[in-house]
Amino acid sequence: MMSEYPQFFTSTIFLWKKLLKKDKYKDIIIESLRFLVKENRVVIYGFVIMPNHIHLIWQMREGINPSHLQRDFLKYTAQQIRFDLKNNHPQVLEYFKVDLKDRSYQIWENRPLSIPLWSQTVFKQKLDYIHKNPIQEKWKLADTEEQYYYSSAKYYLLNEDDFGFITHYKHT
């Protein structure tokens, strides 16, 4: 069983910095998503990882608190990115320095967006939106949706699954 509705989830890198330009940071997000699916916590229908933000369409499994899973996902990915920055790019890590009671560095902006997708029409609109994100004029990360690797577009358009954790929304 799953929670009532899939969620459209968006989170942005602190101060909109383009930290996710590096594939190794995108791969941290991919591995975390793969783990959440493998552990049967979530079903992922679509995603895109952009240079400074991510969009997901996911649905929590029964008994999983969406806000807790989102918090844990962001905390874990931030921690892994921070470890890499500390070891390999300490000068970049300084851009994420904050003076807060509970942390010295912040990777993700506070208050990610999470919207329930209560209809198939809205679901398809959001899926189309995330797949078109990389080809927007302001990004130009690819010429076609399926050319951008860090997205579920190739899965839907070419039936090619490079990630092994996406579930087609028609298979629910």
Q: What pLDDT score was predicted for residue 143?
A: 97
**pLDDT score, position 122:** 96
Average pLDDT, stretch 119-137?
Answer: 97
Q: What is the pLDDT of residue 1?
A: 59
Computed on alpha carbons and rounded to an integer, the radius of gyration of the chain in Å comes to 16
Please give the distance of CA 145 from its chain centroid, rounded to a whole number. Answer: 17
User: What pLDDT, on a 0 to 100 scale, did the predictor assign at position 4?
Assistant: 82
Tell me the DSSP string of the chain. -B-SS-EEEEEEBGGG--GGGSHHHHHHHHHHHHHHHHTTSEEEEEEEE-SSEEEEEEEEBTT--HHHHHHHHHHHHHHHHHHHHHHH-HHHHGGGB---SS-SB--BPSS-EEEE--SHHHHHHHHHHHHHGGGSTTT-S-SSGGG-SSBSHHHHHH---SSS-B--GGG-
Model confidence at 43: pLDDT above 80 = yes
113-116 sheet: strands from edge to edge: 42-49, 53-60, 7-12, 113-116
What local confidence, expressed as pLDDT, does residue 170 receive? 83
User: Residue 3 pLDDT more than 90?
Assistant: no
Could you tell me if 117 and 5 are in contact, meaning their C-beta atoms sit under 8 angstroms apart?
A: yes
Closest CA to 46 of 152, 164, 150: 152
pLDDT in tens, 107-124: 999 999 999 999 999 999
Residue 2: which pLDDT band, with cuts at 50, 70 and 90? low
Neighbours of 84 (CB within 10 A): 16
Confidence check: pLDDT of 37 > 90: yes
Q: What is the mean pLDDT of residues 1-16?
A: 89
